[in-house]
Chain A
Amino acid sequence: MVEPPIIALEHIFFSYTEQTPLFADICFAFNRDDKIGFFGPNGKGKTTLFRLIVGLIKPEKGQVLFRGVPVHTENQWRELRCAVGFVLQNADDQLFCPTVLDDVAFGPLNLGLAPDEAKKRALETLKTLGLEGLENRLTHTLSGGEKKLVSLASVMSMRPDALLLDEPTNGLDPEAKARLVAILKNLPTARITISHDWDFLMEISHSFMTINNGKLIDVDSDFFMRPPHIY
């Protein structure tokens, strides 16, 4: 039997204002081995697509399916959010606990793990991402790169089946970026990554897509070799 996609969007219509529809009849499927690079100009709906996927905003028409099942109730959305980890653009919005350990353990605690198991899981996750030693640091004292990696850890500790990464290299210096690339290359988890940094996207993604006129467009990797004349 063919495994259903982790996430499927069917005939999604969405707009913020009545005049300009953002998405007009979008259909999209996201499978276990996909590593998608998502690019395009600002304001065209990339983050909005992520927000639709995790149910922070609801479409006017159409539905979101999680493992083949349409998502309607709050409980179903919660299950989806625990399986599809969303790493936000702004790490300060995501790292809302005072210490790193508290933050990385927050997800596992919500999943129902006992406090000591959650702590163990958090420490393991930090170690996997090469962040051991940071667990007792106060989050507001971290550097930009450390914050970004810890926010990734805080999502990874929930062991999601897929990741949504929103501009993960924003504000990172080359060293922090290299660390992130190394981590993502070794991560088998399915992901969609929004970024303007095409070198970065090329390194960590296998397929690519963009938005134009309210539609998602698949793009092949040759696109990056040609001059970016569309925009």
Chain B
Amino acid sequence: MCDTPFLREVPFLCRIDPRFRIVVATAYAIALAAIQNLPAACLGVVFAFALLLLARPNPGATCKRLAIINIFIVFLWITVPLTMGGDSIAALGPFHVSRAGIFLALLVALKCNAIAFVFIALVAPITISVLAHSLERLRFPAKLVFLLLFAYRYIYVIEEEWKRLYTAAKLRGFRPKTNVRTYGVLANMLGMVFVHSFERSARVYEAMQLRGFCGKFRSIALFQSRLRDFVFTGAAAAALGSIILLDIFPGKFHG
């Protein structure tokens, strides 16, 4: 179920300090979310795709992720052009395909995928541990960082436990079907997982106390900004700036 297929050694982008990568990705996402014009969105996709190529992620995992993200976009493509009012450019049986609907669906598709490319290129390869420590350096609340680290740590343990329970049920002839009995069995297993997790949390907290934990959570992560981090951020800012300008003044760049 859970795996991290993006963690490969990539020469260039992985050597950029993760804090800078997170900030750039977030700024990009926020700016792109606000874009209203197609030319700017197209430019955004172009830059984002270039970044994705630089990152050289695992192609299979990338396509799978993009497929998942685009499920919602496909849903919008099917529904919006057929239900939105405005000028009609074609007729599909009783439905009219509206120009404004196509525009909206296209805009949203471009924006969504542009943000996804940037995310896959910059943030996805960061391990959760480094991500949490980077967020801490970026002044994220300490309690949230704590939650992130320890939730991540135990996802796999709990997943293993779920698999064991499920396998044990199947070995005794359980076959999930659409009926109340199935839901009851699954709910019991879920309840068991939650109870075990609850009990485990008490033991883990004791284990922390046994190693001297007294309320302040500290980390050994050391981050050092280098010139290349600032250069990268500068280039990203320039790209972002041009996208925003294109969004504000779309007419100026029409040939």
Contact = CB atoms under 8 A, between A and B. Distances in A.
Contact of A98 (B152, B200, B214): B152
Contact of B213 (A98, A110, A139): A110
Given A96-B204, A115-B220, A106 B211 contact: yes
Interface stretch (A87-95, A170-178, A211-219): A87-95
Interface stretch (A24-32, A33-41, A78-86, A180-188): A78-86
B203 interface: yes
Nearest to A89: B203
A158 interface: yes
Nearest to A90: B203
A82 B212 contact: yes
Contacts of A129: none
Contact of A92 (B129, B150, B157): B157
B212 A81 contact: yes
A88 B212 contact: no
B212 A97 contact: no
The winner among A56, A81, A118, A138 for most chain B CB atoms within 10 A is: A138
Interface in A142-193: 154-155, 158
A110 B219 CA distance: 10
Given A140-B153, A155-B211, A105 B200 contact: no
Interface in A72-130: 78, 81-82, 85-86, 88, 90, 92-94, 96-99, 101-102, 105-107, 109-111, 115-116, 118-119, 122
Nearest to B203: A93
B218 A96 contact: no
Given A93-B200, A93-B203, A118 B220 contact: yes
Contacts of A155: 211
Contacts of B152: 98
Interface string B91-135: 000000000000000000000000000000000000111001000
A130 to B, nearest CB: 22
A116 B219 CA distance: 10
B197 to A, nearest CB: 12
Interface in B197-255: 200, 203-204, 206-214, 218-222
Contacts of A56: 206, 209-210
A111 B207 CA distance: 15
A97 B127 CA distance: 13
Contacts of A110: 211-214, 218
Contact of B208 (A96, A99, A139): A96
A115 B222 contact: yes
Nearest to A98: B129
A81 B150 contact: no
Contacts of B150: 96
A54 interface: yes
Contacts of B194: none
Given A81-B211, A98-B149, A138 B220 contact: no
Contacts of A102: 129, 219-220
A107 B200 CA distance: 20
B156 interface: yes
Contacts of A94: 207
A99 B4 CA distance: 15
B217 to A, nearest CB: 9
A85 B156 CA distance: 27
Interface of B: 127-129, 132, 149-150, 152-154, 156-157, 200, 203-204, 206-214, 218-222
18 contacts: A56-B206, A78-B212, A78-B214, A82-B212, A86-B210, A94-B207, A96-B150, A97-B153, A102-B220, A105-B220, A115-B218, A115-B221, A116-B222, A119-B220, A119-B222, A122-B220, A138-B129, A158-B212
